[in-house]
Amino acid sequence: MSIRDKNLVLDEYYHIYNRGNDKKEIFLDEEDYDRFTKLLYVCNSKNNFVFRDSVIRNKINAFDFEKGDPLVSILGWVLMPNHFHIILVSHRSDLCKNNYNPITEFMRKVSTAYVMYFNKKYNRTGSLFEGKFKSKHIAEENYFHYIFSYVHLNPIKLIQKDWKEKGISDKNKSRIFLTNYKYSSFQDYFGKERNIGKILNKEMIPVYLIFNNIDDLFKHINL
């Protein structure tokens, strides 16, 4: 069953997430992760593109592609083997006509493009995700701190499955792992310059959410 806030409202922050059907993996190799991250950038536009035609056939670096004005501002994201998380907001009141919602449209474009890619690559048919994407409204400062930390600490599950229930057993090991995990916006916030950083719009981060160091993430997950 889908979990969705009734209305995705402009100028409000949301935690967006989804996972594979029956909790199956949706990223099977590095190419899959790479394609989804590129779609997070290219599909964030009111213009319509076919990734294969506009980017691959023209031999363009996806992060140099002139996609036009974005539909949403992405503040954080992470890809895990069988699910993903995105934190975003949209200010595109100019597009809200005839039931058109920039957030819904962005997620539709990303999901559709990725499923088409995945199904063709693995010679499969049918749905990939567990229904429609889910959303949670981020209305309070404490929850924003929590979810921002949770999203960026999520990969620790790959080295300690019970970290959320029992706490992080080895913070130093976790720091090293997160620093080297490239399928999230963690590196973009903690010192690494990379093309993939163009997915983010850091200017939309609330002032109270600016972290000075990695330890702040560990602190806020305990709220």
pTM over cut 0.85: yes
DSSP state of 185: S
Domain boundaries, the chain: 13-220
pLDDT of 62 > 90? The answer is no
- 1: confidence class by pLDDT, cuts 50, 70, 90: very low
The pLDDT, as a whole number, for residue 77 is 98
Nearest to 132 by CA among 46, 5, 9, 3: 3
pLDDT of 109 > 80? The answer is yes
pLDDT of 157 > 90? The answer is yes
Q: Give the end-to-end CA distance of the chain in Å, rounded to a whole number.
A: 28
CATH T-level fold of 13-220: Alpha-Beta Plaits (3.30.70)
d(CA 114, CA 35): 7
